[in-house]
Amino acid sequence: MKHGYIARRERGVALIMAILIVALATILAVNVATEGYMDQRRTYTVQILDQAYELGLGAEALAADALVEDAKGSTIDSNKENWATPIALPVDDGIGDIKGNLEDLQGRFNLNNLLNVDGSKNVSTVKQFERLLEILGLDRRWANITVDWIDANNVAETPDGAEDSVYAGQSPPYLTANMAITRASELLSEVGMTKAMFDKLEPFVVALPNGTPLNVCTAPHEVLDSLATTRSQFGNNLSTFASNRAGGCFPRLTEIKNDFKGDPDFDKLLIDHPDYLAESSSYFRANIMVTIGTTELAMYSVLNRFGNAANTKVRVIQRSFGTT
């Protein structure tokens, strides 16, 4: 009797052990299979991203070629030219595509022009930036706050300015850049600047080398109207402005000089900086989106075109992914 009971108990223990072993083996097998699948997916994703990156570089090269070809036959850069035509190309028989466009960055207000070449405050361009901010419904004080951000001294330009003493009191504390802006998104580091404010301002500003002229052919009406104290020249008749722009360069340099002539701020701007306005550009941004299956790669490349019509070259001076 006792022997039979022990035998049955041993068989029960053996059954439980067998079940546990099977369960552990199943968990191990599932884990190995899952890890293997995840490794395959990671490898696939890396390969696709590498492929997307190479395709993005190819689209960047196409953009550079378009700028070189444009320089051979045109001395004016407007949004009517071939370089401004968006592209859409298929990838591998339709499993993806490449979309992209070129944007003239010199149609925006250059934040680094808030200073003169010698590093002093550029009063004329600061006034222009103040008017642009006002047109966009933003506070004019951001003009002098930005001057304080990039100038070399630690003395606030105005009572509304902000130097190291203000930023050192933030949490966490930090200091002003005291150097040229490299990306317009640096404005988000200025004390009090919110994402909503920056999003409103971002399409109209850029960070380019000091002294880079403004291209009147591609500048939006907000930037053009900010050139003078009387700002109703283009913004009050947007349909006419859009119609004229559809035909090519508008306004021409001579037209805008005649239209704004006599405005004290505009006249002073051109007296101080005779080459501030232009009809051609040297800096462009290639906005590229590569899609392969469910994978997307956004690439933004700032291109600098230089040289003459007979020997034009394009170099990449900045490249970013995901955000501009």
Domains with residue ranges and CATH for the chain: 2-105+283-321 (3.30.1300.30), 129-203 (1.10.40.60)
Q: Which residues of the chain have pLDDT under 70?
A: 1-12, 37, 39-41, 231-232, 323-324
Please tell me the predicted confidence (pLDDT) of residue 166: 92
Q: H-type helices in the chain, by residue range?
A: 2-73, 123-135, 142-150, 164-167, 195-201, 221-225, 238-246, 253-260, 264-272
Query: How does pLDDT run across 47-86, given as a tens digit for each residue?
Result: 888 999 999 999 999 999 999 999 998 899 999 999 999 9
Name residue, tokens 């800096």: 283
Please tell me the predicted confidence (pLDDT) of residue 5: 58
Please tell me the predicted confidence (pLDDT) of residue 161: 86
Question: 25-44 burial by CB neighbour count: b if 16+ within 10 A, else e?
Answer: eeeeeeeeeeeeeeeeeeee
Please tell me the predicted confidence (pLDDT) of residue 233: 75
CA distances in angstroms from 24 to 11, 19, 21, 27, 30, listed in the order given: 20, 9, 5, 5, 10
Please tell me the predicted confidence (pLDDT) of residue 232: 63
Please tell me the predicted confidence (pLDDT) of residue 42: 74
**104, 79 contact by CB (below 8 A):** yes
Q: How far is CA 236 from the centre of its chain?
A: 28
Q: Is 279 helix (H, G, I), strand (E, B) or coil?
A: coil
- The C-alpha atoms of residue 253 and residue 247 are separated, in whole angstroms, by 15
Please tell me the predicted confidence (pLDDT) of residue 324: 64
Return the H-helix or E-strand segment holding 103: strand 96-104
Other CB atoms closer than 10 Å to residue 229's CB: what's the count? 12
- The C-alpha atoms of residue 225 and residue 265 are separated, in whole angstroms, by 12
